[in-house]
Amino acid sequence: MLLLAIIVAGGLRFWQLDQLPPGLYRDEAVNGLDALDVLTGQRAGKSLFYFETNNGREPAYIYLTALSVFLFGRTTLAIRLAAAVIGTLTTWFTYKLAKTWFGKSIGLLSAWLWAITIWPIHLSRIGLRPILLPMLLAITFWLGTLAYRRSRDGQPASWMWLLAGVAFGASFYTYLAARFTVIVFVLLFMYLVLTGRGKSLWPGTGWALVGMAVTLAPLTSLFLREPDLIIGRAGQVSILDPTINRGDLI
């Protein structure tokens, strides 16, 4: 059933990928142009970890697009291919996470829901970066859960905690919304501590923080040097921006 879900997910994502949706959305085209800049060396002297064009974007999807363009040429398919591949792979990681939390039946149900529902399919068929975030968050929660359980049972888990931290750190290179997921992990940490299950979090969370810190070091360094580059887009859409409704909350 899982293999069938992955096959169906792939079919719904790859079928006529270069034609549906029709045309090439502006943001997709900009990603393609940035991918060409990467391939032709036009990024020399610029940051490798953040792309300043088009209101600023995290780099992961652009590098995947560059690889796709290198392999398949300057086509619509090449721009969208990474999204379709990642969207299909996320079916498996969704299953692994849901199975770990709720058992095999819910794992299969979750995989099928990811495979056939409209928004995951839509985001897997356009050459934009948001599709990367769900996969990395699923990996983070899955590895984090396994690490917690191993720690709880007295088994070595440092490497698994470390990988969970690396996966979470990597999510910040995918999409702006990753920054808000920190709140989820803080709330989860507080819940485990307040319910008397916090002993299994240490020293594992320390290893996770190390993995996260090392992974985020380049982006953190860039933020400290050029904060406006990283938070510029958030400022543009903030309701506190005086150019939007004069900064009036109401």
Query: Could you give the 3-state DSSP secondary structure of residue 155?
Result: coil
Per-residue pLDDT for 235 more than 90? Answer: no
User: 158 falls in which pLDDT band (50, 70, 90)?
Assistant: very high
CA 113, 114, 115, 119 torsion: positive or negative?
positive
Name residue 40's amino acid: T
Query: Could you give the 3-state DSSP secondary structure of residue 11?
Result: helix
Interatomic CA distance for residues 69 and 60, integer angstroms: 14
**What pLDDT is stored for residue 243 in this prediction?**
65
Lowest-confidence pick of 34-38, 43-47, 103-107, 244-248: 244-248
User: 53 falls in which pLDDT band (50, 70, 90)?
Assistant: confident
Q: What is the pLDDT of residues 62-104, one digit of tens each?
A: 999 999 999 999 999 999 999 999 999 999 999 999 999 999 9
**What pLDDT is stored for residue 242 in this prediction?**
65
CA angle 244, 224, 248 (to 5 degrees): 15
pTM (predicted TM-score): 0.92
Of residues 127, 113, 143, the one with CA closest to residue 27: 127
Lowest-confidence pick of 80-94, 174-188, 202-216, 217-231: 217-231
**What pLDDT is stored for residue 244 in this prediction?**
63
Tokens representing residue 121 in the block: 């399919």
**What pLDDT is stored for residue 55 in this prediction?**
84
Tokens 């396994």 -> residue: 146
User: 226 falls in which pLDDT band (50, 70, 90)?
Assistant: confident
Tell me the average pLDDT across 195-219: 95
Burial class (CB in 10 A: 0-12, 13-18, 19+), 18: middle
**In sequence order, which ranges of the chain are alpha helices (DSSP H)?**
2-14, 26-40, 60-72, 76-102, 104-116, 118-124, 132-152, 158-171, 181-194, 204-225, 227-237
Interatomic CA distance for residues 217 and 214, integer angstroms: 5
